[in-house]
Structure 1
């Protein structure tokens, strides 16, 4: 395929992008003036973000443009990144950079030969600024293709402080304590949990937190790679533990039927909306954005979180998700796209979005003071301090047919389990059959 290529960036230009301090002649260059190494070039970025997320990422792109002189264009793909990007490549209109939300999709792109390995400058930044786990999740067969710019902390349970105070309970430290606290909240007049069963991905997150804590990281990794079968006793045990919550009408707002008709925003509304129905909702740090933006809650005052508690004596889990920036070989300005990744790898770039809100960075060099409130700061510090014990969302590591398709695979099977959690072994067998088909083994 014919495509216009840009001149390869020199090591000096990369330094200018990273530090905004030195030009090739040795003279000082300000972040917003002087040398504009990418003037006249346009970097096209594709990603799932829309609304506030897209607006905040645009602030990062604008900062990059101010530094380098490049123009930027963001294209929202919707949820099906793989299909949209594939069609653009086939049509000769590939973006330069894609923000990939799933490890499985990053691997798919790499195996299709679509990606450029990250530059030496970016690789050095990743080695210096990130825990090894993020490098591993961005690599395929030992080659680093993805830079994790935005992360999610999926081991947070959000609650109404008023609800817990009125029930006389404190944020729990163990899973059993959480269920007992939930029953006490229920006795005080509210259901314990709003469960977003209409969105199957939330159920995978519930399972992953229970499984990581109960079974441990080695089995979690093996199950994520389908080196361990879903019929393993550890899976049945985790489903049994989760089923205790799902079947308890006292714990789940609206019972199983109500949960299956509640989507993610609706689950947040049931806790933080004008007419609360539950005291707690489990999901990632992004709950805070919905509670604040849609329901006017003050984070840290009338909306707060506690870490997902340890299960059966295991370690408290830290499950994460994230968006990895990759550079497509077929982009018209792929080299300028690589320069964008060199910028995104810096704490400076992360600080732009951190200040805007709705963002966590896995970059260990980002000053926590960049975050706009104490709760977000605490969430970010929890994610960074977890280091290599962080595990990426398991369903996002799986082939999309198993871990990422509405009405199919793991999403559908766990919805069926929520509807009737009476036979964990049968559910495990269904999961294994679907996984074996999707993984091809």
Structure 2
């Protein structure tokens, strides 16, 4: 059992005193289970479907058992809507706003706060967050220094997964830097395995590729500036990162089938290409959720099937730690604000995280969640890596951008990086197109108050 680490509090002394008082008065915080909300109903909206939806349902059942409140969960994806911001906007227009929304992108959280759709979280929730989360997670849940979102589910997007049999056959070891990774890729190709299967059809994994390279190569300061549009996409650091990515995607020894095949391959297919019955590549890059894809419905033992190594450093930089996550926010239109706040306080507890952790397919930034709650050693290692990174964690850049640039199929960064994978010969031209698309998206978002 891992000893809990001390969280860094973001609260002022006055707020902390208020939080202690509020917590002392909260039956939920003391774990009384006195059914204080019996007869009431909480509505929660999110994006999870399938296995994730079922696992979250167990978390909701835990809240019901504790408080007596019924919980109704509605998934935007189950209704055929991929744009969560649009889903919530329509709910507000029809006066059917949920009490709590599980927001999947930090940019969307900030958009909701800017529009005045969110209720600030009270001191007692801030206290629970300060006990259980590093300061970086509290800051990403804030807008203009007001705490609106409590991060419940996280992802670790700096993991490279590999087939150990392929590595053994080619006599290669996990690399220490990007150059070593490409060199190992050449040896793997010579042994019969192209280095990577790349999920270019989905497009968003390409943004993750770029962001890991950029963070590792340009450093966290430049990363933060690019993520907030403080520097443009024609900056030399961007061109350099595109060239570094281009070294990979232009080489068919390094990408199975080259860029053309990558653009026909989605994430599930890329994972299957490495860990399926007939492996076609040795490695696949993506986040911790690759483990749940490998396990599948059969719940295969990931520890025996796959291994991973951290996304390597590039040049003289540090290895990146890139993340994303889903934050619980209370909607301003909620008629059940006290119930909503108690639910978010519950989600901030290690107990709530433990319920989903045991089900698999989940990672928590909660530093007081016992790592033994995770179902396999592989996930435990990833969770420890994320928690130990502390303040070094950087959030997914595309998730921080306006949707038309950072999160929409067929346009913006998604489309332009797909074009680059198809033809990586002119990174300067790609940078100019990215800069123009970003400038328009940020300008439109500023004009309409959506970013």
Asked if the contact 1:193/1:253 (under 8 Å) is kept, the reply is yes
Partner residue, 2:68: 69
Asked if the contact 1:191/1:252 (under 8 Å) is kept, the reply is yes
Partner residue, 1:18: 29
1:134 and 1:288, CA in 2 relative to 1: closer, same or farther beyond 3 A? same
Superimposed CA distance per residue, residues 104-150 of structure 1 (whole angstroms, 9 cap, x where no aligned partner): 10011001111000111111112222111111111111101000000
Partner residue, 2:336: 333
Give the Å deviation of 1:19: 3.0
Partner residue, 1:170: 173
Q: Which runs of 4+ in 1 moved over 4 A?
A: 294-297
Q: Does 1:207 align with 2:210?
A: yes
Superimposed CA distance per residue, residues 217-275 of structure 1 (whole angstroms, 9 cap, x where no aligned partner): 00000000000111000000000000000101111111111001001111111111122
Provide the TM-score with structure 2 as the length reference.
0.91
Paired residue for 1:261, among 260, 264, 271? Answer: 264
Provide the TM-score with structure 1 as the length reference.
0.93
Partner residue, 1:25: none
Partner residue, 1:88: 91
Q: Does 1:148 align with 2:159?
A: no
CA distance in 2, matches of 1:125, 1:196: 38
CA distance in 1, matches of 2:35, 2:23: 13
Asked if the contact 2:23/2:29 (under 8 Å) is kept, the reply is no
Superimposed CA distance per residue, residues 6-30 of structure 1 (whole angstroms, 9 cap, x where no aligned partner): xxxx93686321231xxxxxxxx4x
Asked if the contact 1:118/1:338 (under 8 Å) is kept, the reply is yes
1:160 and 1:90, CA in 2 relative to 1: closer, same or farther beyond 3 A? same
Give the Å deviation of 1:354: 0.8
Q: Does 1:352 align with 2:355?
A: yes
Paired residue for 2:287, among 284, 289, 294? Answer: 284
1:419 and 1:295, CA in 2 relative to 1: closer, same or farther beyond 3 A? farther
Runs of at least 5 residues in structure 2 that lack an aligned partner in the other structure: 1-20, 447-451
CA distance in 1, matches of 2:334, 2:281: 48
Paired residue for 1:374, among 374, 377, 394? Answer: 377
124-133 vs 204-213, greater mean Cα deviation: 124-133
1:358 and 1:160, CA in 2 relative to 1: closer, same or farther beyond 3 A? same
Asked if the contact 1:159/1:271 (under 8 Å) is kept, the reply is yes
Asked if the contact 2:101/2:331 (under 8 Å) is kept, the reply is yes
CA distance in 2, matches of 1:190, 1:296: 26
Asked if the contact 1:401/1:409 (under 8 Å) is kept, the reply is yes
Partner residue, 1:24: none
Number of matched pairs: 420
SS of 2:282's equivalent?
A: strand
Asked if the contact 1:155/1:318 (under 8 Å) is kept, the reply is yes
CA distance in 2, matches of 1:301, 1:17: 40
Runs of at least 5 residues in structure 1 that lack an aligned partner in the other structure: 1-9, 21-28
Partner residue, 2:439: 436
Asked if the contact 2:198/2:285 (under 8 Å) is kept, the reply is yes
Give the Å deviation of 1:294: 5.3
1:295 and 1:349, CA in 2 relative to 1: closer, same or farther beyond 3 A? closer
Partner residue, 1:55: 54
Paired residue for 1:302, among 293, 296, 305? Answer: 305
CA distance in 2, matches of 1:158, 1:186: 16
1:371 and 1:50, CA in 2 relative to 1: closer, same or farther beyond 3 A? same
CA distance in 2, matches of 1:14, 1:384: 30
Asked if the contact 1:94/1:332 (under 8 Å) is kept, the reply is no
Give the Å deviation of 1:295: 7.3
CA distance in 1, matches of 2:173, 2:112: 46
Asked if the contact 1:17/1:339 (under 8 Å) is kept, the reply is yes
CA distance in 2, matches of 1:193, 1:398: 28
SS of 2:240's equivalent?
A: helix
SS of 1:17's equivalent?
A: coil
SS of 1:189's equivalent?
A: coil
